[in-house]
Amino acid sequence: MQKTALILGATGLVGSHLLYRLLESDAYSKVIILVREVLAIKHEKLVQVAVNFEHLLDYADYFKQADTVFCTLGTTIKQAKTKENFEKVDFHYPLQAALLTEKAGKKFLLISSMGASVNASVFYNRVKGNLEAQLQNLDLNLFVFRPSLLLGKRKEFRLGERITMIILKFLPFLFVWKWAKYKPIQAQDVAKAMYLVSLQDKIGKYLYLSDEIQKISK
């Protein structure tokens, strides 16, 4: 039986790769994406829904239609401008999506971050950790992915990512053994791992660190 997928964050680095993989998949016959603005993409499987994320509860019916909900929402402090705006995108919206998924009784796959912890000193990691903690209290099949630094083509230039790519090229031995989980990972590999995990008949709550994500994608 073919499935229906719902994606929040389909325009992001991981989300865009995930979208194309789902559209090409024989396992999914329908892909619904919730977006701020409709994308210039046409596909017989694709259903685009322009939404106001401040009122995500108004779109509960789309969560009921889906078999699997993928949440790849995420921003940066630089893009969000304020901590409040950052928390909206990286905490409040994903939490609302998870609550809707719980109510619909569906599977929820989330992109978090390496270092996510409620006790983290870094604001970014603390927000991610708070979200994960909230999701652990929900009654849903939960699959959390914690990738290390994401690599891929972005619209904006990121110096840190460029430096890391150079290190990977010339000093790959730095990311072995216990340091393997810190090795930067291609966004397309994260998307592939999320897709493959979504096809598994697992129930419960699971956490995948970056090195595990890399292994699954291979």
Enzyme catalytic residues:
124, 128
Name the helix (H) or strand (E) containing 7: strand 3-8
Helix (H), strand (E), coil (C) string for 132-179: HHHHHCCCCEEEEEECCCEECCCCCCCHHHHHHHHHHHHCHHHCCHHH
Question: How do 205-209 and 141-146 pair as beta strands?
Answer: parallel
Give the residues across from 145 on adjacent strands: 111, 208
**Around Cβ 214, how many Cβ atoms within 10 Å?**
20
Rg (CA), the chain: 17
Maximal C-alpha separation, the chain: 50
Task: Determine contact, residues 74/89, Cβ cutoff 8 Å.
Answer: yes
